[in-house]
Chain A
Amino acid sequence: KAGVTQTPRYLIKTRGQQVTLSCSPISGHRSVSWYQQTPGQGLQFLFEYFSETQRNKGNFPGRFSGRQFSNSRSEMNVSTLELGDSALYLCASSSPLDQDGNEQFFGPGTRLTVL
C-alpha cells in the first residue's frame, strides 16, 4: 500500500505570493491533518479534515486554509506569504477504523522557502 505523498517536495516563493500544497493520503484513510515544522516553533498543528469537512483547527491566521476532496486528497493554501512561513509542511493521514489513538501516517513533507 502506498504511503502518504506530498507534492511538491520543495518550493521557493517570494513574499506576497500564494502557494498551494497537495497531499494524497493512504488509500482508505479519510482523515488528513496538516502541520507546520520550523526550528523555532517545532511542530504545530494547522488543521484536520475528515470527509471533506474541517474538523479541527490550530492557532494560525486566516491566510492558512485548506480543503479536502471527495477522494480524501487534501490541499493547503497559504496566501500573502511572509518570510516566517518558511517551513516544512507535513501532511498526515489516519484511518477511522483505528479508533484507539488514531495513528497518523506522515508524508515526507513540502519544504517551503519564502524569499
Chain B
Amino acid sequence: AQSVTQLDSHVSVSEGTPVLLRCNYSSSYSPSLFWYVQHPNKGLQLLLKYTSAATLVKGINGFEAEFKKSETSFHLTKPSAHMSDAAEYFCVVKGEGKTSYDKVIFGPGTSLSVIP
C-alpha cells in the first residue's frame, strides 16, 4: 500500500531564508512523486514531479526536490523564500500498480508562512 507523510503541518520562515518542506513516502513500486501548491481560494498547481529520471528535480518558482530512495524521502526546498510562497503544499505519491492511471495519494499538507 502507498502512503505519504508530511512531517510538518506548519512551517514558518523569514523572507529571504531557505525553505524545507519534508515528505516521506511508502510504496511497493517505484513511485511517481509530485509537489503541488495551493494558494487560498485557488486550485492546486503542480510545482514539480519525479518520474524515475534525474533524482534532483527542478520546478517552478525556484523550488526543487530530491528523490532519495534509501530514505524514502522527497523533500521540497527553495534557497530563498518570497512572500508569495505562503501557501499550502502537498506531497503526492502515485503509481502503485500496472497502469499509469492508478490511485493518487495526497499527503496531509504543510502550511508555509513567510514572515516579512
Contact = CB atoms under 8 A, between A and B. Distances in A.
Contacts of A44: 106
Interface string B80-116: 0000000000100010000111111111110000000
Interface stretch (A14-22, A48-56, A71-79): A48-56
Interface size class of B (residues with CB under 8 A): 20 to 34
B101 A55 contact: yes
Interface residues of A, number: 26
A25 interface: no
Given A90-B44, A104-B46, A45 B104 contact: yes
Interface in A63-115: 90, 92, 99-109
A48 B101 CA distance: 8
B43 A4 contact: yes
Given A56-B101, A56-B102, A103 B46 contact: yes
A106 B101 contact: no
Nearest to B109: A42
Interface string B56-77: 0000000000000000000000
Contacts of A92: 44
Contacts of A50: 101
Q: What 10 pairs across the A-B complex have the smallest Cβ distances? A: A43-B106, A106-B44, A101-B51, A106-B43, A100-B51, A101-B32, A108-B43, A101-B49, A42-B108, A56-B103
16 contacts: A4-B43, A31-B101, A33-B104, A42-B108, A43-B90, A43-B106, A44-B106, A45-B105, A55-B101, A58-B103, A101-B51, A104-B46, A106-B36, A108-B42, A108-B43, A109-B43
